[in-house]
Amino acid sequence: MAEVLDSTKNWPRHAMAVIGSSLGGFYATWLGEHLGCKAVVLSPAVRPARYLVDHTGEQTQWHDPEQHFFFDPSYIDELMALEVTQITRPERYFGVIAKGDEVLDWHEMTEHYRGARIKLLPAGDHALSDYVEEHLDDVLDFLFPNTGPARK
């Protein structure tokens, strides 16, 4: 995160935003809090260290089990250090959360982003497989309010 902060140090905070999905949503939340910018979180992990503690050591890539990587136990402590216990400015956040998420608990996600703009899907999946067709316009409307059809 130090590298991200360094690489964005000259970005205009009032005009920037971050978007992240799953673990990326966790990072986007941390950045939103530390940079004071808007953040869009898609199926965001709220406390990933809790889920990943059982997956240290050698792992296989989800999309390609032939590829391996090593998840060092020290990463758990790093994730815990980045946990945002409560968002401070809910109006800066927009979440797309699916009740059908097979990986993360939608209750925990909606509770963590209480007061934020949330698009809670009655079904769906963790990958938000229909993101482009069904949710991208809502994300753009949040990021660029009052631009309407002109942006399309």
Q: Does 37 map to a domain?
A: yes
Q: For the chain, what is the domain count?
A: 1
pLDDT tens string 67-106? 999 999 999 999 999 999 999 999 999 999 999 999 999 9
Q: pLDDT at position 147, please?
A: 78
For a pLDDT cut of 70, what percent of the chain falls above it? Answer: 97
CA 25/CA 40 separation, integer angstroms: 7
Q: Does 141 map to a domain?
A: yes
Ordered DSSP codes for the chain: -HHHHHHTTTS-GGG-EEEEETHHHHHHHHHHHHH--EEEEES--SSHHHHHGGG-EEEE-SS-TT-EEEE-THHHHHHHHH--SS-S-GGGEEEEEETT-SSS-HHHHHHHTTTSEEEEESS--TT-TTHHHHTHHHHHHHHSTT-GGGG-
pLDDT tens string 4-55? 999 999 999 889 999 999 999 999 999 999 999 999 999 999 999 999 999 9
Q: For residue 128, what is the domain's CATH number?
A: 3.40.50.1820
Q: Does 65 map to a domain?
A: no
Q: Does 78 map to a domain?
A: no
Q: Does 100 map to a domain?
A: yes
Q: Which residues contact 139 (CB under 8 A, 6 or more apart)?
A: 19, 40, 94, 96
Q: Does 55 map to a domain?
A: no
Q: Does 2 map to a domain?
A: no
Q: Does 42 map to a domain?
A: yes
Q: Which domain holds residue 105?
A: 16-47+83-151
